Amino acid sequence: MVVGAVVGALLLTPVAQAADGDPVPTPTVAPTDPVAPAPAPTEPAPDPNALPPLVMPAALGSWCETLIPSTSAKSEKNRAQELMAGRAVMSQGGTYLLTEHPNWKPQSGTDTSGDRHVHSLFWALPLLYRGVHTQNAAMVERFRNLIYYWIRDNNSGRGSWVDGSIYGGLRTQTLVCAAQTLNDPTISAAALRDSQTMIRSFGSSREISIGTNNTELIRQTGALAAYCWVADAPGRETAWGHVVAIARGLVQPDGSDVEGSPGYAMYIEKLLVSAERAAATCGIPSDPIPTLRGLMYQFVAQAVRPDYKVLSIGDSINESLRNNFGIGDWRADWIRSAGAAGAPPSTVYTVFDGGYVFGRAGWNPQPGGPDTYYSLRFTSTRPITPHTHDDGGALTLYSKGVEWIGDPGPYRYDNGSSLRYFMKSRAAHSSVTVSNVQRTSSQGVRRVATNSDWELGGNDTTCLADRTWGSVDVTRCTTYVRSVDVFIVSDQVSAARLPGKKKQLKRYAKRTMTQRWQIPPGIGAVSYENDVFTFGADDKRLDVYKSGEGGWDVRTARNGSSVGWFTGEWGQKLPGAVLSREVGLAPTADAHTLVTVFVPRVDGESVPVTIDANGVTVTRNGMTITTPLSVPH
């Protein structure tokens, strides 16, 4: 390119003329030094980082609404204004502060998930959406600048989390949306590069992909969108094959999820809907995605408490269904409308391959009648994911409109948080632990008996074998006695003799089995008399009877300890309590049976319980029922 040229100037000496036109002699001027010609103006050097002029799009690309549907105008406006002010909300991971040119590094206002989500670029989309919807060029320009900054800063040397998991998948979807809307070759190239990375990341050729989680579905849906958009038929077929295999792996044949977390089942349903939309935009059949989605509704319905909230298990919190979950499905409609529309399932005792047992008094509890609902956890038939907690054998119990025994929830996704680490551990759940043994997770917690006579008004019986404690086997058998509305837990402990001669056994640390019941926030201790602990919430009561060794101990949540804390809203910790008892196990062969009976009632109601060799005898409303303790077969 010619930057400039020096052009010589012709110096003209004017000649004076007389009135008649004759020349007038010019005065003699002394010679002077020659004057150097002035340099001509030059063009400035181009900025190699300058963006081409923005051509304002009239509408969002079709893939934007397919992959990431618009939110409400109010939400879109608020998020876009926050971004223009330099604040990016990283989903549940906190708020990331944006400079003009972000450095993409971790910040104090975000947790581990938020620090990684900065690479998803998904959070920047409100700028594009609001900018296009209101024709605000400044917002669209800011969006494009952020995308360009990220592309140039991450052209090479990407860390594993940059392209991995949900972050790479959401970024691929974001780039496809941006490239199609802005018709920008740089962003288009980045979208195609990401799609190739997503495709290569999935190496399975099986029809059912076992061992993946929801993030892989996001990645392959993004790749599908990119290949459909550029009309790459081979890439499209590969990506859709991946989507189908992953979806089949995420949803068990009975509809349960593989995440160990019912809230994530709702999220998977959302991703399946997105995959269906992608297939429609791409012009290909969406089978078998609608069928898999339908299976999930029967599972989620059973994971919902009588107050129409999805149960907190694993990385879920107690929450209502989102307003667009399963629209048109009779079970989902029933739950979303709190029973005003649709219809509930008929079954009141269910067992799912994802490692869940759910039982309830019924789907239409009468005022003042039993509304008891409970859950138990065992090991899934498919590999666990990062959202599964160490909650084998754990119990939750809801009755009289109160959650009496709860799950601590996820707290937040912060790898450096000791509370997050504890809440995922066995000691944070209503189950058992054994100290001073070498633990192994290979055997897991298996179901050995699951049956119910609910259709005749009879009992639910469940037995789970916990074989993770090395030399100590624990089998938890539970019985919900529907006729008198009580819940019985029998923990049978069998400790093997440790190796060595009798006098050598003294060298071993004492094995101790601890049974814990996690008491949620808002529940208070009312009394403790004759080994009966009573908890209360308003005028509702829960009596806890026991037999076997070990006295009750209550620890309430306090600062400096992780014990007893629950998750309220995401990232919010609320104080609860833990009711526990311990039993020492001899180094020789040893066996114990610990029976716990939970009796929900109202204040002033008398429901006496006796535990003896015959089992558990309960008297309620003039009816006396004796239930033998369940034993595994």
| pLDDT at 48 (0 to 100) | 64
When pLDDT is cut at 50, 70 and 90, the band that residue 309 belongs to is very high
- The predicted model gives 612-616 an average pLDDT of 95
When pLDDT is cut at 50, 70 and 90, the band that residue 604 belongs to is very high
**pLDDT tens, residue by residue, 263-290:** 999 999 999 999 999 999 999 999 999 9
| pLDDT at 20 (0 to 100) | 38
When pLDDT is cut at 50, 70 and 90, the band that residue 39 belongs to is low
- The predicted model gives 64-80 an average pLDDT of 96
Assess whether pLDDT exceeds 50 at residue 12. Answer: no
Cβ–Cβ < 8 Å for 378, 464: yes
Q: Which two tokens stand for residue 625?
A: 């029922």
pLDDT > 70 in the chain, percent:
92
- The predicted model gives 181-192 an average pLDDT of 96
Assess whether pLDDT exceeds 70 at residue 15. Answer: no
Mean pLDDT (the chain) is 91
| pLDDT at 37 (0 to 100) | 60
* φ, ψ at 367 (rounded to 5°): -55, 125
| pLDDT at 24 (0 to 100) | 38
- What single string gives the DSSP state of each residue in 441-470? -SS-EEEEEEEE-GGGT--EEEEEEEEEET
| pLDDT at 534 (0 to 100) | 97
| pLDDT at 176 (0 to 100) | 98
- The predicted model gives 209-226 an average pLDDT of 94
| pLDDT at 90 (0 to 100) | 93
| pLDDT at 218 (0 to 100) | 96
| pLDDT at 30 (0 to 100) | 44
**pLDDT tens, residue by residue, 234-269:** 999 999 999 999 999 999 999 999 999 999 999 999
| pLDDT at 47 (0 to 100) | 64
* Residue bearing the bigger pLDDT, 15 or 345: 345
CA distances from 102 to 54, 138, 374 (A): 21, 18, 48
Q: Reply yes or no: is the peptide bond before residue 410 cis, omega within 30 of 0.
A: no
Assess whether pLDDT exceeds 50 at residue 31. Answer: no
The pTM is what?
0.88
* Residue bearing the bigger pLDDT, 42 or 117: 117
Q: Which two tokens stand for residue 414?
A: 């912060």
Q: Is 327 exposed, middle or buried (0-12, 13-18, 19+ CB in 10 A)?
A: exposed
When pLDDT is cut at 50, 70 and 90, the band that residue 42 belongs to is low
CA dihedral 272, 277, 278, 284 (to 10 degrees): 100
Assess whether pLDDT exceeds 90 at residue 202. Answer: no
| pLDDT at 367 (0 to 100) | 86
Smallest Cα–Cα separation from 344: which of 369, 372, 364?
364
Cβ–Cβ < 8 Å for 477, 490: yes
| pLDDT at 38 (0 to 100) | 59
Assess whether pLDDT exceeds 70 at residue 306. Answer: yes
| pLDDT at 25 (0 to 100) | 41
Assess whether pLDDT exceeds 90 at residue 506. Answer: no
| pLDDT at 23 (0 to 100) | 39
Cβ–Cβ < 8 Å for 207, 248: yes
CATH of domain 351-497+509-627: 2.70.98.70
- What single string gives the DSSP state of each residue in 156-202? S---HHHHSHHHHHHHHHHHHHHHHHHT-HHHHHHHHHHHHHHHHH-
- The predicted model gives 574-593 an average pLDDT of 96
Which run of H or E residues covers position 117?
helix 112-117
- The predicted model gives 221-231 an average pLDDT of 96
When pLDDT is cut at 50, 70 and 90, the band that residue 502 belongs to is confident
Distance CA 175, CA 180 (A): 8
Helices (H) and strands (E) in the chain, counts: 14, 26
Assess whether pLDDT exceeds 60 at residue 11. Answer: no
Alpha helices in 18-57 (DSSP H): none
| pLDDT at 472 (0 to 100) | 97
CA distances from 80 to 106, 133, 213 (A): 22, 12, 31
DSSP label at residue 429: S
- The predicted model gives 487-509 an average pLDDT of 91
Assess whether pLDDT exceeds 70 at residue 2. Answer: no
| pLDDT at 503 (0 to 100) | 80
E-strand spans in 316-470? 319-320, 349-352, 356-360, 373-377, 395-399, 402-405, 432-435, 445-452, 460-469
Q: Which two tokens stand for residue 81?
A: 């204004």
| pLDDT at 5 (0 to 100) | 33
| pLDDT at 630 (0 to 100) | 87
When pLDDT is cut at 50, 70 and 90, the band that residue 41 belongs to is low
Assess whether pLDDT exceeds 90 at residue 3. Answer: no
Q: Which two tokens stand for residue 179?
A: 């490239």
When pLDDT is cut at 50, 70 and 90, the band that residue 443 belongs to is confident
Q: Any idea where the domains of the chain sit in the sequence?
A: 52-199, 202-345, 351-497+509-627
Distance CA 70, CA 82 (A): 17
**pLDDT tens, residue by residue, 378-428:** 999 999 899 999 999 999 999 999 999 999 999 999 988 999 999 999 999
